[in-house]
């Protein structure tokens, strides 16, 4: 039994047999066939080469038979030379076929991976923000990596392996039957001795493989958490180096132990197959030798039978587990299709309306909103539901409490600044996210209009161009300042970049960096201070030049000096733009055209700063609390 066949058998038997219990979604096979259609020509050539290669396996032993019987035994040197050259030619042909097969396999497989990854990535990008807040990033990335690769293998290694094994088995058995039906029958009777131990060891390998994946994932999660800037900072400030090292060693030790057990089980598997193959070969030589002495078979036939026997048991073991191989590949396809079938909770309209040119007003009209489970997959969320494919069957308990916004109505006129204030959890960020259409209002739950047009009637691309958002934790990619700014407007010139940075009071900061605009800002922008990062984010907003600006506590968690710099940049950014500003520090919204106090998902007060203070309601209470705690400023105190 060849080492290649042994490895193939081990991979097959080490796959999880529980996959056979899974019921495929209807139409999976039809969709797989549709994916194969664009590759049908190279696939046809690939299949033909696999069949030819499988059939050639039986040719060299048959040539050896004639070489011995018709050349060596008769002393005919010309026959020996010709047949030896034929054996060499077949070997060369097999090598060429193998090379061409590998090229076609790579072309088909990599083309399919490219097609699937691109399609899945584009589809995921269209999902609402709720999809990303509920999904585990690692599980989502796995769909674009391991599951896509697993699906691709259905067209290359799995399909080719099944076809090659089937053709090889038929060719070898046919050749052996021609040479000696008795020895062929004996060889087939020995086959169960290969399959039964292989299945038993395979189940153990499958279990070890599951454990190894879990423990490697645990180790990977540990490193990801500790190596990220935020995690590293937490370890540096609170962690104990000895404890961290010991916990890592424990996890790494578990991975090591599984690796040792897997290696030992694999070696036992190979040793067993090798021993059984040697036993079968000995039986063939014993029985065949007896038949050769009696004249039932020739010496050449005996040598050919022994050579064919070495090519028989690999295909048998491969074909015996074909159901698991096929189902493993199909389940990978199903997991990819599961993501592709998830309809985005926020979709573009069939007949979009354009937003009017110039300044835009913003209006919320009787808005009701509930965080539901639409646009989510249980298998991507982790926890108990992670193993269950398909859409989430019901809402999470924390989302079953009903609407978080109750008939909210407010209006920001074109060019006005409207501030949203209130206690944590009141619904301020939810209101802002609806303006940017990160979510949609409940069906029949009012409307959000920008420029008099319902945001559900506008394409998301156009809305992103006209509505800009800056949050309190502005995200920067692990790239240069230049690339982070160009993300907002790819065609911007160098002068445009510096003008935006100057307006955001960030030009001096960037000029002081080692490589200026080409300085890499690090993971999530951690090479910059909080205030610097916010100002770069504001420069990105100014470069986009939106008509409506949504600021979600953009100055929260900043020191006084950074807050002043960011506030100056904000004042410049808001000029001439309609603005929705969420503020924790009431001192930053005193000059707003309208202040809306949000509590319990409702707008409970509205007016200007002095009016709300004089009214003595929730706004005044929040103001007193901040001023008493020292987070306000003297200018916030109501006039006597």
The CATH number linked to 134 is 1.20.1560.10
Neighbours of 611 (CB within 10 A): 12
pLDDT at residue 603 greater than cutoff 80 = yes
**Shared-domain flag, residues 516 and 599:** yes
In angstroms, the CA 353 to CA 451 distance is: 11
Task: Identify the pLDDT of residue 194.
Answer: 66
Helix residue spans in 469-528 (DSSP H): 481-486, 494-503, 507-511
Please state, in angstroms and rounded to a whole number, the distance separating the CA atoms of residues 423 and 600.
Answer: 9
Q: What angle do CA 162, 168, 173 make, to 5 degrees?
A: 125
Q: Are residues 448 and 335 in the same domain?
A: no
CB 321 within 8 A of CB 15: yes
- The percent of residues above 90 in pLDDT, for the chain, comes to 16
pLDDT computed for residue 400 by the predictor = 46
Confidence of residue 639 (pLDDT cuts 50, 70, 90): very low
Nearest to 606 by CA among 418, 413, 414: 418
Count Cα neighbours of 477 within 13 Å in the Cβ-side half-sphere.
Answer: 11
Average pLDDT over residues 397-424: 82
493 is a domain residue: yes
Which two structure tokens, joined as six digits, stand for 422? 């209130």
Cβ neighbours of residue 510 under 8 Å, at least 6 residues apart? 481, 501, 516, 517, 519, 536
Least confident segment among 224-228, 495-499, 619-623 = 224-228
Last residue of a domain, one of 286, 314, 340: 340
Specify burial of residue 354 (Cβ count, 10 A radius: 0-12, 13-18, 19+): exposed
Average pLDDT over residues 617-633: 74
In whole angstroms, give the CA distance from residue 502 to residue 512.
13
Which is it for strands 447-450 and 602-607: parallel, antiparallel or unpaired? unpaired
In a domain? residue 504: yes
SS (H, E, C) 31-78: HHHHHHHHHHHHHHHHHHHHHHHHHHCCHHHHHHHHHHHHHHCCCCHH
Same domain for 328 and 434? no
Question: Does the pLDDT at position 321 exceed 70?
Answer: no
Angle between helices 40-56 and 159-179 (to 10 degrees): 30
Same domain flag for 7 and 107: yes
Burial 47-70 (b: 16+ CB within 10 A, else e): eebbbebbbbbbbbbbbbbbbbbe
Helix axes 313-320, 241-294, angle to 10 degrees: 130
pLDDT of residue 566: 67
Residue 470 maps to a domain? yes
The answer, yes or no, to whether residue 629 has pLDDT greater than 60, is no
362 pLDDT band (50/70/90 cuts)?
Answer: very high
Measured CA to CA, the distance from residue 47 to residue 164 in angstroms comes to 9
**What's the domain count of the chain?**
2
Same domain, 60 and 194: yes
Question: d(Cα 161, Cα 568) in Å, to the nearest integer?
Answer: 67
Q: In terms of Cα–Cα distance, which of 359, 361, 395 is closest to 378?
A: 395
Please enumerate, as own/partner, the contacts of 252-256 that have beta carbons within 8 Å and a separation of 24 or more: 252/219, 254/215, 254/218, 254/219, 255/212, 255/215, 255/216, 255/219
Contact yes or no for 612/620 (Cβ under 8 A): yes
- Domain with 468 in it: 402-636
**Length of the chain in residues, anyone?**
640
Give the Cα separation of 87 and 303 in Å (integer): 14
Helices (H), 321-368: 322-340
Task: Indicate whether 325 and 411 sit together in one domain.
Answer: no
Looking at residue 431, what is its pLDDT? 92
pLDDT at 3: 43
Are 151 and 264 contained in the same domain?
A: yes
Are residues 505 and 611 located together in one domain of the fold? yes
Q: Choose between 85 and 114: higher pLDDT.
A: 85
Kindly report the three-state secondary structure assignment for every residue of 400-444.
CCCCCEEEEEEEECCCCEEEEECCCCCCHHHHHHHHCCCCCCCCC
84, part of any domain: yes
CA distance 583 to 588: 7
Interval 524-539 mean pLDDT: 82
Q: Note whether residue 390 is domain-resident.
A: no
> What is the structure's pLDDT at 387?
42
The residue from 313, 340, 367 where one domain ends is 340
61 in any annotated domain: yes
- Tell me which residue has tokens 């131990």: 197
Q: Is 237 exposed, middle or buried (0-12, 13-18, 19+ CB in 10 A)?
A: exposed
At residue 411's C-alpha, the angle toward residues 405 and 415, to 5°, is 135
* Structure tokens belonging to residue 544: 């986009």
Rounded Cα distance, 309 and 180, in Å: 12
Among 297, 321, 340, residue at a domain's last position: 340
Distances (CA, A) of 569 to 259, 482, 545, 562, 631: 56, 19, 14, 11, 21
Cα separation, 337 vs 120, whole angstroms: 9
Instruction: Band the pLDDT of 553: cuts 50, 70, 90.
Output: confident
Q: Which helix (H) or strand (E) holds 397?
A: none
Q: Find all residues with CB under 8 Å of 513, minimum gap 6, and list them.
A: 481, 519
Of 30-34, 101-105, 357-361, minimum mean pLDDT range: 30-34
Question: String of b and e for 2-39 (b: at least 16 CB within 10 Å)?
Answer: eeebbebbbbbbbbbbebeeeeeeeeeeebbeebeeeb
Q: What is the CATH number of the domain that holds 485?
A: 3.40.50.300
Contact residues for 431 (Cβ-Cβ < 8 A; gap 6+): 364, 367, 405, 408, 410, 420, 580, 598
Distance from C-alpha of 34 to C-alpha of 37, rounded to nearest angstrom: 5
Q: Which residue has the higher pLDDT, 500 or 143?
A: 500
Four-CA torsion 331, 333, 334, 337, nearest 10 degrees: 170
At 299 the pLDDT is 86
160 has pLDDT over 60: yes
Query: What mean pLDDT do residues 272-290 have?
Result: 78
444 found inside a domain: yes
* Percent composition of the chain: helix, strand, coil (DSSP 3-state, to 5): 65, 10, 25
471 or 362: which leads in pLDDT: 362
Average of pLDDT values for 343-349?
A: 87
H or E segment and range at residue 81: helix 77-125
Please check whether residue 345 lies inside any domain of the structure: no
Identify whether residues 219 and 100 lie together within a single domain: yes
Amino acid 27: pLDDT: 76
Report the chain's mean pLDDT, rounded to a whole number: 80
- As a whole number of angstroms, the distance between CA 430 and CA 439 comes to 8
Please tell me whether residues 121 and 39 are part of one structural domain: yes
Same domain for 409 and 278:
no
Which pLDDT value is given to residue 21?
59
431 and 512 together in one domain:
yes
Higher pLDDT, 416 or 190: 416
């Amino acid at each position: 039994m060849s080492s290649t066949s042994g490895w193939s058998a081990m991979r097959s038997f080490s796959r999880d047999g529980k996959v056979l219990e899974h019921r495929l979604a209807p139409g999976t096979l039809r969709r797989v066939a549709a994916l194969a259609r664009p590759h049908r020509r190279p696939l046809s050539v690939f299949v033909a080469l696999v069949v030819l290669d499988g059939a050639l396996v039986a040719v060299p032993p048959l040539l050896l038979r004639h070489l011995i019987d018709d050349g060596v035994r008769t002393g005919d040197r010309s026959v020996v030379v010709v047949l030896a050259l034929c054996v060499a030619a077949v070997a060369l042909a097999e090598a060429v076929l193998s090379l061409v097969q590998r090229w076609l396999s790579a072309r088909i497989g990599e083309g399919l991976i490219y097609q699937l990854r691109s399609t899945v990535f584009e589809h995921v990008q269209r999902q609402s923000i709720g999809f990303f807040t509920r999904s585990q990033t690692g599980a989502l990335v796995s769909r674009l990596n391991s599951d896509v690769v697993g699906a691709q293998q259905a067209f290359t290694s799995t399909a080719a392996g099944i076809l090659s094994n089937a053709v090889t088995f038929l060719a070898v058995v046919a050749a052996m039957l021609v040479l000696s039906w008795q020895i062929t029958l004996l060889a087939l009777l020995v086959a169960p001795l290969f399959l039964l131990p292989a299945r038993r060891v395979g189940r153990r390998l499958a279990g070890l493989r599951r454990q190894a994946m879990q423990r490697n994932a645990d180790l990977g999660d540990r490193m990801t958490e500790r190596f990220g800037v935020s995690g590293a900072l937490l370890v540096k400030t609170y962690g104990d180096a000895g404890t961290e090292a010991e916990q890592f060693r424990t996890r790494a030790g578990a991975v090591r132990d599984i690796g040792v057990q897997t290696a030992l089980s694999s070696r036992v598997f190979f040793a067993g197959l090798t021993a059984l193959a040697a036993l079968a070969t000995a039986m063939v030589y014993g029985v065949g030798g007896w038949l050769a002495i009696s004249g039932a078979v020739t010496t050449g036939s005996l040598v050919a039978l022994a050579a064919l026997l070495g090519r028989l048991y690999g295909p048998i073991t491969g074909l015996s587990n074909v159901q698991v191989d096929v189902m493993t590949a199909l389940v990978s396809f199903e997991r990819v299709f599961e993501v592709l079938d998830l309809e985005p909770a926020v979709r573009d309209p069939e007949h979009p309306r354009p937003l009017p040119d110039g300044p835009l007003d913003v209006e919320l009209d009787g808005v009701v909103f509930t965080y539901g489970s639409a646009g989510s997959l249980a298998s991507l969320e982790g926890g108990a539901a992670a193993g269950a494919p398909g859409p989430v069957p019901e809402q999470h308990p924390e989302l079953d409490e009903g609407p978080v916004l109750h008939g909210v109505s407010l209006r920001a006129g074109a060019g006005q600044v409207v501030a949203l204030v209130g206690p944590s959890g009141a619904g301020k960020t939810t209101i802002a996210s609806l303006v940017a259409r990160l979510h949609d209002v409940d069906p029949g739950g009012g409307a959000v209009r920008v420029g008099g047009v319902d945001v559900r009637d506008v394409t998301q691309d156009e809305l992103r161009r006209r509505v800009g958002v800056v949050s309190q934790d502005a995200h920067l990619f692990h790239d240069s300042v230049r690339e982070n700014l160009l993300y907002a407007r790819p065609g911007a010139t160098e002068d445009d970049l510096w003008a935006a940075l100057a307006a955001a009071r960030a030009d001096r900061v960037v000029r002081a960096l080692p490589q200026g605009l080409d300085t890499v800002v690090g993971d999530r922008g951690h090479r910059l201070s909080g205030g610097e990062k916010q100002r770069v984010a504001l420069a990105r907003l100014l470069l986009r030049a939106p008509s409506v600006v949504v600021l979600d506590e953009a100055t929260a968690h900043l020191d006084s000096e950074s807050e002043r710099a960011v506030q100056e940049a904000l004042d410049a950014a808001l000029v001439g733009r309609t603005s929705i500003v969420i503020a924790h520090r009431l001192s930053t919204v005193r000059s707003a055209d309208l202040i809306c106090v949000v509590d319990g998902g409702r707008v409970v007060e509205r007016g200007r700063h002095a009016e709300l203070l004089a009214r003595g309601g929730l706004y005044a209470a929040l103001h007193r609390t901040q001023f008493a705690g020292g987070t306000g400023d003297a200018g916030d105190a109501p006039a006597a």
